[in-house]
Amino acid sequence: MYTEYENEIDGEELSYEQGERTSDIQLPAVINVLLLAIWVVFCLIGFAVMFLAKNPVAGAVIIAVPTFIGMVLKPTFGLCIMMLVLPTGAGVGFRQVFSLDRGVGIALAASFALNVLITRPRLRIGHKALWVIAIYTLWVCLVSLAGPYLNYELVRAFTQVQLFVLIFIVYWILQTNGEKSFRWALRAYVMGTLGTIMLAFLTGSAMRAMESAPEQRYSATLGQATDANMLASLTAIAFLVAIYLFARDRSLFWRILYLGAILFLPIMMLKIGSRGALIAIIFTVLSPLLFIRQVVRRPALAALLLAVILMACVSAGLVVRNRGLEAGVAARLTDPHQAREAISYRMMPIKKAVACAVRKPLGTSYYGWFEESGLRILPHSDFFMALGLYGLPAAALFAWFIILIMLTVKRTPLGLEKLYARAVLTYLLVMGMNVGQLYQKHYWVFLAFVLASERIAGFFPATTDELPAFAEYEQDFLPQEQFA
């Protein structure tokens, strides 16, 4: 039965490739395996030069050259490499100037541009959300030109341009390749998250971050990055991805890896102590209760996911009970006085954002915000950050962008991809109510994955007995979906 299922998926991919060229250069399977083996050998040589010969620059070059060539030939390979290093954030640096994730991002953009010149894959932008975010980016650039510190404002505007290019490239790669590329990219992200956290503990960077960070929180992966909320978001999304892959992937080897991630990552989230991330992940996990009719229609899947989530909660509870949390983290999570202070701290810039929008409805610009508001912090909210910095047009465009993504999730057929897309979007939206994410790469990357989930769901057609349920679902679901 599984063989027939795989053949059906392969047939879907083949028919799609015949109708629309992929961004990957098509090579025989033997050549693909040979190229992958050669790349692994170069990586091993590069790491040997780094750690044994003590020459990190030469080792990095040995790894980077064949990696870049592979990214040109196979943008899906480039996407997997980017997802592998994405959990490092800005934490893996070289002399405080160059960071690994930044270098891979530049390499992905350059290799993709070269690939487009070679393959010229046709792509019809079927999601209006991308056009809206393109207009949002243009507006950010216009407001920045009117800012008080033009040179610095242009740097922030260029950051927004880079983020738009990133979401567009990720979307293009996912839309012009098959379901296996989607799955491999998510696998790479889970492996990258686990590997980054492991390296942080082995190298001691996590401990140094605890000593230097307030309240003894785990707030860094590697290097000098100390952003606990970013690390918590990266970890939470990896947890959601691991649950999706555990249910979708039939390989025993990969399921063992996913199960390890599902059991370990909640513990890490507690150690980080980000209240916003914990609230967002709890709401995301409980959100299926808002769609109980759908859960009832897929009882086996619901039981599997419930068992996995219960195991994660039990493992986290046992660790906390036996070893406990650091005093600062425990107080942060349980002290109501600290919670009230945190709410007050976040409400102040939100009120200032509304006031700034009244005085300057077209926006203050990034650095103009600090002068206009008199604060040294940005609004801790995606919507109010757009409103306060770039005015009413930016807030309206951002809201429109989110609504279009929600409608995309609504259109996605009921299945694992819909549950995955809804979970990731729910988490990002709830997290975005108390933490600004508009300048975080992972935020835009995973929104591209949410958009692509609609097409990926087409590789897993519903069975005949499920089709009536789908029709009834689409008729009565809209109010609940908008609420989510």
Residue pair 29/13 in contact (Cβ under 8 Å)? The answer is: no
pLDDT in tens, 121-134: 777 787 899 999 99
Rounded to 5°, angle at Cα 7 from 36 and 78 = 30
Is the pLDDT reported for residue 82 higher than 80? yes
Q: Which of 61, 36, 68, 67 is nearest to 46 (CA)?
A: 61
pLDDT in tens, 332-376: 666 677 777 777 878 889 999 999 999 999 999 999 999 888 888
> What is the mean predicted confidence (pLDDT) over 192-219?
70
> What is the mean predicted confidence (pLDDT) over 81-106?
74
pTM of the predicted structure, to 2 decimals: 0.84
Cα 319 to Cα 259, 377, 423: the distances in Å are 16, 35, 26
pLDDT in tens, 139-194: 999 999 988 888 889 988 998 999 999 999 999 999 888 899 999 999 999 999 99
Q: Distance between CA 18 and CA 23 in Å, rounded?
A: 13
pLDDT in tens, 445-459: 999 999 999 999 888
SS3 407: helix
Residue pair 265/473 in contact (Cβ under 8 Å)? The answer is: no
To the nearest whole number, what is the mean pLDDT of the chain? 80
The pLDDT score that the predictor gives to residue 468 is 38
Q: Distance between CA 435 and CA 121 in Å, rounded?
A: 37
Q: Distance between CA 54 and CA 475 in Å, rounded?
A: 63
The pLDDT score that the predictor gives to residue 211 is 59
Which residues is 98 bridged to in the sheet? 94
Q: Which of 448, 414, 454 is nearest to 186 (CA)?
A: 448
Could you count the other beta carbons within 10 Å of the beta carbon of residue 446? 26
Question: Got the DSSP string for 111-169?
Answer: HHHHHHHHH--------HHHHHHHHHHHHHHHHHHTSSSHHHHHHHHHHHHHHHHHHHH
Q: What are phi and psi of 181, to 5 degrees?
A: -65, -40
Q: How many residues does this entry show for the chain?
A: 484
SS3 226: coil
**Buried-state track 106-123, b at ≥16 Cβ within 10 A, e below 16:** ebbbebbeebeeebebee
Q: What dihedral do alpha carbons 419, 425, 427, 433 form, nearest 10°?
A: -150
Q: Tell me, what DSSP letter sits at residue 141? A: H
**Buried-state track 323-337, b at ≥16 Cβ within 10 A, e below 16:** eebeebbbebbeeee
The pLDDT score that the predictor gives to residue 61 is 92
The pLDDT score that the predictor gives to residue 12 is 41
Give the residue, 153 or 21, on which the prediction is more confident.
153
**Taking the alpha carbons of 411, 412, 415, 417 in that order, is the dihedral positive or negative?**
negative
Q: Which of 43, 31, 100 is nearest to 67 (CA)?
A: 43
The pLDDT score that the predictor gives to residue 5 is 38
